[in-house]
Structures are given as C-alpha cells and as structure tokens.
Amino acid sequence: MTASIEQAEGRQPRPPVGERVARVLRVPRGGHIGQKLASACDPGSTLLDIGCGPGSPARLYAPDLHLIGVDADEGTLSTARSGGTHDTFVQADLRVDAERISRLLEQQNVQLVLLRHVIEHVPKRIGFDLLELAETVTRRFVLVETPNDFLPQGPEFGVEFQRHESGWFQHDFVGLGYSVIGTAGTRYLRGYAGKPRIPCRGGATLDFVAARMLWIDRFPKHAFELTAWKDVRGAHARLG
C-alpha cells in the first residue's frame, strides 16, 4: 500500500526499513534518555530547548512540561512556530545573548535543558560556556546530543549556523560529571553531515545492525553520536 493511500485512510505511513530495524534492535537514541529525564521533572515545570531547530521532538517525550524553544535563526523559528513544537519561542544567539536568556528565565522553573546538536556549531571554548549556562539555569537536568568526534558540515540550506566548528568526545563530558552513552548508529558508516556512507538500499539497516553488535551504548567510541546527561544536584549521599 502506498503512503498516499495510507494517508488518505488516516493512517501514518510506515517508517523506512532502516528505522524499523533500529526499533526492533533497540538501538539507543537520545530521545530515550530525554523521555526518562522529562518523566522525572515536575509536571508543569519548564524545558528549555537551546538551538531548538525547526522540528524539535521535545514535545513527544515531554508533553507535561512547558516548552521554550530558543534559536538564532528567525526562519527556523518561523517553521517551529507553524509546527507548534514549543509553547514559547525566543530568537537569540547564545554566543552573545547568554545574559539576556538568563534574565528571561529567572521566574521559570527550568528543570531540563536540551542542547541537541548545538555545541558542535560553535568553537569548543564557547561550547563549554553553553554547558555552563545550561547548568546554571536548570534546577535538575541537562541533556546534550552531539556527533562523536569532529563531523565536517558547512552552512547547509543557506543557514550559516549549520556549520560545524568543533568536535566532542566522551571524556569532554565525563570530566564534567556527565553520564555518556553512544547513540544513533556507528561512526564508521556515516559521512558528511551524518549521511550514510553506503547510500544504496540497506545501508541504514547495516549501520544499525553494526551499532547493536558494537554495543555503542556501552562503548561510545564506536557511536556516531554521543548523548550525555547530568543531574546538576549531584550524586546522592551513600555513607550516612
């Protein structure tokens, strides 16, 4: 049955074969961690989505939270508004507007901050500043998704902010107190901008099978992406 017929009958088109294989194999995704963290937040508290992009999945795993989307590109925010991805939208370039964002959030009960594919778009020193900002404004969790190592990418689709300027590694986060797993396939079968190195049919399936065989959640060095999260309240006392 074609996708158009499925849509006409009110059913969602079937996802690509590779995506279905990923689900069957339970290949780890950043969204899985996001859902767990969001469920630990108080209902009605705020999720801050920094660099939200045009189609953030935040509402899928945090339906009970107030969602604030921040992005530097007005065209991107316009698309996000049309899709209703967040409850509130803020245009800001956090490389220069960090203090303004902090002031806007003073009255918000921010319990989860997302940095999904953001820090690789800025020089590394600024990326560490963004992590510090995220830890400052949240009362509970920070969740980061970024490519593993430097992934070449230019200003795609005419958006300068799409350019990659830094690469990130597991130890960058572990040294700051984050937990880290590998997600979204292997680094060996992905190329420019994350596109499959094997572009023919079955390439994505092979990548996800390899990801499961390499246990990328336990051994992030093999993964295409890193997902890191931190509870800014720190570890619980164990000795009394």
HSE-up (13 A, CA, CB side) for residue 140: 18
Architecture of the domain delimited by 21-225: 3-Layer(aba) Sandwich (3.40)
Q: Where are the domains of the chain?
A: 21-225
pLDDT in tens, 83-132: 999 999 999 887 778 888 888 888 899 999 999 999 999 999 999 999 99
pLDDT in tens, 171-181: 999 999 999 99
Sheet holding 223-231, edge to edge: 88-91, 66-71, 46-50, 110-116, 141-147, 223-231, 179-186
Among the residues of 84-191, which ranges form H helices?
98-104, 124-137, 170-174
Q: What is the pTM of this model?
A: 0.86
Cα-based distances in Å from 193 to 41, 157, 221: 33, 12, 18
**Selected residue with higher pLDDT from 69 and 16:** 69
